[in-house]
């Protein structure tokens, strides 16, 4: 893949315009595939968003529950950082 040229470095670009006219059966299949893809994407995006907010909530609760411990950890440097 290192030998591949960027399209912008070429003097000209080739392209093909295609137009297709799907039948009603093919339209249903295309819509079904698109809807499935959108469902999978949205479910992963929602799961990641939920995880992000849950971690933030837990971190805030932990800091509020034991402020002295987190203050101590922030002051002390780990042994590999001392030097």
> What's residue 51's pLDDT?
81
Q: Are 10 and 16 in contact (CB under 8 A)?
A: no
Give 62's contacts (C-beta < 8 A, 6+ positions apart).
70
> What's residue 65's pLDDT?
62
Give 70's contacts (C-beta < 8 A, 6+ positions apart).
62, 63
User: pTM score, two decimals?
Assistant: 0.44
> What's residue 27's pLDDT?
95
pLDDT in tens, 21-70: 999 999 999 999 999 999 999 888 888 888 887 777 776 666 666 666 55
Q: Are 7 and 13 in contact (CB under 8 A)?
A: yes
């Amino acid at each position: 893949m290192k030998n591949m040229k960027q399209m912008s470095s070429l003097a000209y670009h080739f392209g093909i315009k295609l137009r297709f006219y799907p039948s009603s059966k093919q339209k249903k299949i295309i819509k079904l595939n698109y809807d499935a893809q959108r469902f999978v994407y949205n479910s992963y995006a929602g799961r990641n968003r939920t995880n992000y907010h849950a971690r933030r909530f837990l971190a805030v609760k932990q800091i509020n529950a034991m402020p002295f411990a987190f203050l101590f950890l922030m002051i002390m440097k780990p042994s590999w950082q001392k030097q």
